[in-house]
Amino acid sequence: MQAATNATADTTLTTRSTRSTIHYQSDPDGRLTQAGPGSGRDRGSTDRTGEATEEVAGAMDLVTDVFEATSRFPAHERFGLSAQMRRSAVSIASNIAEGHSRHSTAEYLHLLSVADGSLAELTTQLEIAERVHFLPRALHESTAAKAAEIGRMLFGLRRALRRLSSSSPAP
């Protein structure tokens, strides 16, 4: 769910995920900043790790789950499906963090789209792993549920950023 409000020349947008609320606003130059309690960080600042975003935190949890799940795969799959699943999971978190560090909303949206593509890959790979009996159904379901949560968070963030960029004043 998003709520958009106008305050003088700034536009503030709030995104809500199951974990927290993140506030973004655009300044008069059209730069996106994370606003609100605890943010204290503007997306264009020198601290570009993106580690404060809830989306990255959720994606990092998913990476951990995928690494734990694939550690149970047969040894002959170490460079096959296991490696692909790990790369997909890492790509999700990495692209969200990289997008968060970019100076423009368009770049952020592009990298969120790449993260969403990696999420689709991972979801497919989880299904394959279950079908070939590398992954027990319960572990597949719990990991797939976390992936679906990340997907919802990405969808909400992309929608919120699009609304924000469409309501931002031209630089």
Q: Which fold has domain 2-167?
A: de novo design (two linked rop proteins) (1.20.1440)
Output the pTM of the full model: 0.70
The 10s digit of each residue's pLDDT in 34-70 is: 554 444 333 333 233 433 478 889 999 999 999 999 9
Per-residue confidence at 166, pLDDT binned at 50, 70, 90? confident
Does residue 29 or residue 111 have the better pLDDT? 111
How many residues are listed for the chain in this entry?
A: 171
Sequence ranges of the domains in the chain:
2-167
State what percent of residues in the chain have pLDDT above 70.
67
Residue (of 159, 142, 79, 85) closest to 119 by Cα position? 85
Is 24's pLDDT higher than 60? Answer: no
Tell me the mean pLDDT in the region 3-19.
39
pLDDT of residue 28: 53
Query: 30: which DSSP letter?
Result: -
Does residue 17 or residue 83 have the better pLDDT? 83
**Type and span of the H or E element at 93:** helix 81-101
Does residue 36 or residue 133 have the better pLDDT? 133
CA distance 146 to 10: 34
The 10s digit of each residue's pLDDT in 64-109 is: 999 999 999 999 988 999 999 999 999 999 999 999 888 889 999 9
Strand stretches in 1-158, DSSP E: 2-7, 10-16, 21-26, 32-35
Query: 41: which DSSP letter?
Result: -
